[in-house]
């Protein structure tokens, strides 16, 4: 892809002379169309192009081909454009004028990389392995865009054991994008791309849409990343969850630091003014221990799965959970024990004074609002 006709013709002749099958175009729009119609092993593109520059081409091509090697060429090299080329996953950054052998060597290297990538993908499919998300920004952006479009919520009940009823449902992040299958991976990608607010807004919108299926008196627990507290839309009276605010508990994970969030208490107070309640999620697994309880003054705390797993056989965990339940009762804070997978864990936690429970022993997360099982 080169808009200067003489240089484009020279490069095409040189590649064909070396036995390559090659197509040429003068602009990015035509190049994108060609890439959609034909499987190429490598693309070389000028960085400065009218209409669509080389970096925009990289972003666009990643929407349908995450592995295609792209070589960027430029007659006006700069530290900034070189850094962008690396960030967006360019295979090579060639400065004009370059030796034709350097160009051909880069093309040959790109073809080898392409073949290796295809072989790794085929092997991974046969072995049942998922490929990790790519390190280049263009690939991440393409996958994240698909994942964001495919976000849906799974709902898992939080039950009151003494009453044998559903106290609430937690809305859990899921996506139809197979290359970003896990919520924590999707959150990590959003963080790397600076798109946490976009993801948070999408989650809240999906919960608002899905709430129509829930019983009118059922509470909904919705996860917030601490960075969501910087998003002005969260505090808007027009945000999707405001109509449900009196039924919504916003869970702020204790696994991520609250450092850097200015005026945390004022922000939490603003959420409560809108009608929301606040929970500390994953208590016992995160950065600051009980310090987050002091900052957030939560209505609810959720004990992390690491405290619950195997608690029936571990006296130290029993003493710790029992003390935390007593402390929360003294402070007027509701406690939920999450990650309960068997009857022994359930019985132990109940004996320690925790009545609100969540875990596979009752129900797995589902698209619908499933009713829990009450094992004896």
Of the candidates 150, 165, 70, 152, the residue with the CA atom closest to the CA atom of residue 117: 70
- Find the mean pLDDT for residues 129-145: 66
pLDDT above 70 coverage of the chain, percent: 89
Highest averaged pLDDT of the listed ranges 101-105, 200-204, 330-334, 371-375: 200-204
- Same domain (yes/no): 173, 249: yes
The answer to whether position 350 is within a domain reads yes
- Same domain (yes/no): 120, 151: no
- Same domain (yes/no): 91, 162: no
The answer to whether position 376 is within a domain reads no
Phi then psi for residue 243, to 5 deg, are: -60, -25
pTM recorded for the entire structure: 0.71
Q: Which two tokens stand for residue 58?
A: 């990289």
Greater confidence, 211 or 241? Answer: 241
Beta bridge partners of 168: 158, 219
Of the candidates 50, 111, 47, the residue with the CA atom closest to the CA atom of residue 85: 47
Quote the pLDDT of residue 362.
96
Domain that holds residue 354: 137-358
Based on the structure, what is the number of domains in the chain?
A: 2
The answer to whether position 208 is within a domain reads yes
- Same domain (yes/no): 235, 325: yes
- Find the mean pLDDT for residues 344-372: 94
The answer to whether position 248 is within a domain reads yes
Quote the pLDDT of residue 69.
87
- Same domain (yes/no): 104, 186: no
- Same domain (yes/no): 308, 207: yes
Greater confidence, 253 or 204? Answer: 204
Buried-exposed string 178-206: b where 16+ CB fall within 10 A, e elsewhere: ebbeebebbbebbeebebbbebbbbbbeb
- Same domain (yes/no): 172, 251: yes
- Same domain (yes/no): 65, 85: yes
Strands 300-303 and 277-283 turn out to be parallel
The answer to whether position 372 is within a domain reads no
CB hemisphere CA count around 131 (13 angstroms): 21
Domain boundary among 127, 155, 172: 127
What CATH code is carried by the domain that includes residue 267? 3.20.20.450
- Same domain (yes/no): 121, 171: no
- Same domain (yes/no): 183, 258: yes
Greater confidence, 113 or 173? Answer: 173
Confidence bin at 156 (pLDDT 50/70/90): very high
Quote the pLDDT of residue 255.
60
What CATH code is carried by the domain that includes residue 121? 3.40.50.2300
- Same domain (yes/no): 145, 43: no
Domain boundary among 97, 127, 157: 127
In sequence order, which residues have a C-beta less than 8 Å from that of residue 224 and are 6 or more positions away?
A: 200, 234, 250, 251, 252, 253
The answer to whether position 366 is within a domain reads no
- Same domain (yes/no): 181, 102: no
The answer to whether position 374 is within a domain reads no
The answer to whether position 364 is within a domain reads no
- Find the mean pLDDT for residues 2-14: 91
Domain boundary among 127, 157, 172: 127
- Has residue 130 got a pLDDT over 70? no
């Amino acid at each position: 892809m080169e808009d200067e006709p003489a240089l484009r013709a020279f490069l095409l002749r040189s590649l064909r002379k070396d036995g390559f099958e090659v197509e040429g175009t003068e602009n990015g729009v035509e190049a994108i169309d060609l890439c959609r119609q034909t499987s190429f092993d490598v693309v070389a593109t000028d960085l400065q192009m009218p209409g669509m520059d080389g970096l925009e081409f990289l972003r666009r091509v990643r929407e349908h081909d995450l592995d295609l090697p792209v070589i960027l060429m430029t007659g006006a090299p700069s530290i900034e454009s070189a850094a962008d080329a690396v960030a967006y996953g360019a295979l090579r950054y060639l400065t004009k004028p370059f030796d034709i052998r350097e160009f051909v060597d880069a093309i040959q290297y790109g073809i080898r990389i392409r073949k290796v990538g295809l072989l790794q993908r085929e092997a991974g499919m046969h072995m049942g392995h998922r490929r990790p998300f790519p390190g280049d920004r263009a690939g991440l952006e393409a996958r994240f865009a698909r994942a964001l479009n495919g976000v849906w919520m799974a709902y898992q009940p939080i039950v009151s054991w003494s009453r044998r009823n559903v106290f609430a449902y937690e809305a859990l992040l899921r996506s139809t994008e197979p290359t970003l299958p896990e919520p924590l991976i999707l959150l990590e990608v959003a963080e790397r791309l600076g798109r946490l607010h976009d993801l948070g807004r999408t989650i809240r919108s999906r919960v608002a849409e899905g709430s129509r299926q829930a019983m009118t008196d059922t509470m909904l627990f919705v996860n917030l990343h601490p960075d969501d507290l910087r998003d002005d839309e969260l505090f808007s009276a027009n945000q999707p969850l405001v109509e449900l605010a009196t039924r919504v508990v916003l869970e702020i994970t204790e696994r991520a630091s609250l450092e850097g969030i200015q005026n945390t208490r004022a922000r939490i107070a603003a959420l409560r003014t809108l009608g929301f309640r606040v929970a500390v999620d994953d208590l016992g697994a995160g950065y600051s221990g009980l310090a987050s309880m002091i900052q957030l003054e939560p209505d609810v705390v959720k004990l992390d799965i690491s405290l619950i797993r195997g608690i029936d056989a571990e006296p130290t965990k029993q003493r710790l959970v029992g003390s935390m339940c007593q402390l929360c009762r003294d402070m007027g804070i509701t406690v939920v024990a999450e990650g309960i997978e068997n009857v022994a864990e359930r019985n132990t936690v109940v004996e320690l004074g925790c009545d609100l429970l969540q875990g596979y022993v009752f129900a797995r997360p589902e698209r619908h609002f499933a009713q829990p099982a009450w094992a004896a």
